[in-house]
Structure 1
Amino acid sequence: MTENTAAHRVEPLARGVWGVVATPFTDAGEIDDASLVRLVQFYESVGAAGLTVLGVFGEAAALTASERMQVLGVVAENSSLPIVAGVTSLATAPAIAEIENAQATVGDRLRAVMVQANSGSPAVVIDHLRRINEATGADVVLQDYPKSSGISISTDNLIAVVEASPFVSAVKAEAPPTAVAIARITARVGVSVFGGLGGQGLLDELAAGSAGAMTGFSVPEALVSCVTAWLAGDAEAARAELVPYLPLINFEQQPGIALALRKELFRRRGLFASAAVRAPAAGFPAELDAIAADHLAELDAQEVR
């Protein structure tokens, strides 16, 4: 990173846990505003640093443009937390349109927009982000999530993108091994780097220099307690806060059904009225009903102890 780029870089995104907001639906498939309000107010009550709305686990790709604005509006009206809005499109013009809609909906509550790396070539990504920033003025969280985007970019190329893009305030590193990528990025550029993937690698990511987590989990207060302890300099306490939840984190992150599991666990915790998902997402498998109940019962028993 050149001295000039470093001097003009936007402020890094705040450290902590940015809760990735799942979009609740009614059994009839409509957006459930009441459940959404409960979720975002719960995130705020447990100490989240901010909310990431319309991400992959927000099923943004299954929402219409007006529904996306509805979700953003409900979140903004019912929480005081800063908002990062996810951008679904990998192409520049529609990505700009999504961001302009988000800006019109939430105004200065929009802290940044989360844009996925849309090429393995740093030149292509740099141009994509530059055009987005010139058109909208928005700070960018650069997301590297090849499982969702289908795009793989090397860590060195990702760093080159960030070095050339002073409006990037954070990177969301979700290409395993995430701790390796986080260590390399934080050693080179002065942006916040967050892990995701439901918190599976959170302790290692924090040890590698992450600013926290930008992810969802059915017990987000566990992630907040862990990250808060770590950022306060108490690694032992951070580990103690997270370790009891690792079996549930592992259960929830099963490929292909992770979204359905999280929604069902939110329902069982009283945050969502329904665990409904939209196609092509898979629904909650009935075969896991008793296993999910056992996981939650074990956590309840630990709290009693």
Structure 2
Amino acid sequence: MELGNATRFSEFLLLGLSEEPELQPLISGLFLTMYLITVIGNLLIILAAISDSHLHTPMYFFLCNLSFADICFTSTTIPKMLMNIQTKSNVITYEGCLYQMFFYIFFAGLDDFLLTVMAYDRFVAICHPLHYMIIMNPRLCGQLVLVTWTISILNSLLQTLLVLRLSFCTDLEIPNFFCELKEMIQLACSDTLLNDMVLYFATVLLGSGPFAGILYSYSKIVSCICGISSVQGKYKAFSTCVSHLSAVFLFYSTSLGVHFSSAATHSSQSSVAASVMYTVVTPMLNPFIYSFRNKDIKRALKKLFEKSTIKVTFALGLKKCS
């Protein structure tokens, strides 16, 4: 077999979380539950923001994009894992692996940039409250989201195209439940220097850059909050940032956990556990983070449920009359 044609016939084996047969039903049930919670929770956030005119603000516009990204982020990995457990086959095609890797990188990057944009939104809201609606106008909000999508797509496309040039000589085992970029590069049997360099620079630029932007925004926010004279004013200003700060901490702590667990240890179990926190747990918890302390979201969800209940009751009444 020629080395250049090796990838054409390659199939990958996703080893998943555990190879123990008796644990598969438990894993399947647990991840199906978490996936449904993630999809339903984030979908409710989107529906609440769309249905309530009071939530037609930049903050909730960005939150809707984040919720959509979280739904898609988990949908790139969990359904395939659940299907593998049901069919008792860990095989994923080379093309399927590339598609999964592309969307995984794309939505992970989108999450990263959206959190940065949301930090800027909080900075303007607290430090320049009188000019907030002028600065954060619909055109700027649309442009910010467009930029985040464009950068995320270009980075994902670049990483995927670089993997296309690699050769994989035999059927290979990936010690994870999805096709993770770094693990695929490590399994290649051709020169990976260019891939490693691009991955390193992309991680530094697209990882540390947004994080630095978040830190800068919150340094200005803290400075403004300290300048507020009343305790009530300080509490009100800080309370608007709690949800976003919690989401930022959760996202970066789990993503750093993935990076350091793969770099500092050769244990595949620790790397998989960190990946679960990053790809599954974080998107699942975000709806709770943004709705737990948010009275506007709670009110919008209450109205949404009341409207749904009235419509269902009315439909059942019409059905009985007919």
Tell me which protein shows more helix as a share of its residues. 2
Give the TM-score, by structure 2 length.
Answer: 0.24
Give the TM-score, by structure 1 length.
Answer: 0.25
Tell me which protein shows more strand as a share of its residues. 1
Structure with max Cα Rg: 2
